[in-house]
Amino acid sequence: MRETETYEIEITSPLGPLRIVGSAQAVESIDWNLDRASVTTDTADSCPLLDECARQLQAYFDERLTAFDLPVAPAGTNFQQRVWQRLMAIPFGQTLSYGQLAETLQPPTSPRAIGNAVGRNPISIVLPCHRVVGSRGDLTGFAGGLDRKEWLLTHEGAILC
């Protein structure tokens, strides 16, 4: 295994297939593999880090994990990186509105800019963009679909409007 090589595995989850992509150093993306009817874990093109990511995701879905401990390297602009870093600070089972998230950045920015950055989050679940909601607590925008966002928040015990 070379350290600069990119690997990928596909896993099943309670919400459908997920594709995990990364290197030996960091997870680069977790996306909803919506184009496939069924997927099984394939470690032929994997590495220990992606296998660990799959194990942690399974523990999360099995209610045995509330915080991920994985190196991540999402590709994005400096602004997106700052927003994604803030996502990791939203505690398990809690939500934050786009406006509240905007206020945590220095300097504060617009909720719309936050929404655009959150919407481009390439590492679903681990960078918990599902914990960002509308100003009234309503579920808005999620790459995996609002039904999955609701499932994730309910799974975490978040109070939904």
Q: pLDDT tens digits, residue range 122-131?
A: 999 999 999 9
Q: In this predicted structure, what is the pLDDT of residue 3?
A: 52
Residues 121 and 85 in one domain: yes
Q: Which of 47, 53, 129, 161 is catalytic?
A: 129
pLDDT of residue 140: 85
- Amino acid identity of residue 119, one-letter, is G
Residue ranges in the chain modelled with pLDDT below 50: 1, 36-44
Peptide bond into 71 cis (omega under 30): no
53 tagged catalytic: no
pLDDT computed for residue 94 by the predictor: 95
Determine the pLDDT at residue 40: 42
Q: Is residue 14 part of a domain?
A: yes
- Structural domain span for residue 140: 78-155
Residues 84, 149 within the same domain:
yes
What integer pLDDT is reported at residue 145 of this predicted model? Answer: 85
Are residues 98 and 144 located together in one domain of the fold?
A: yes
Query: pTM of the predicted model, to two decimals?
Result: 0.87
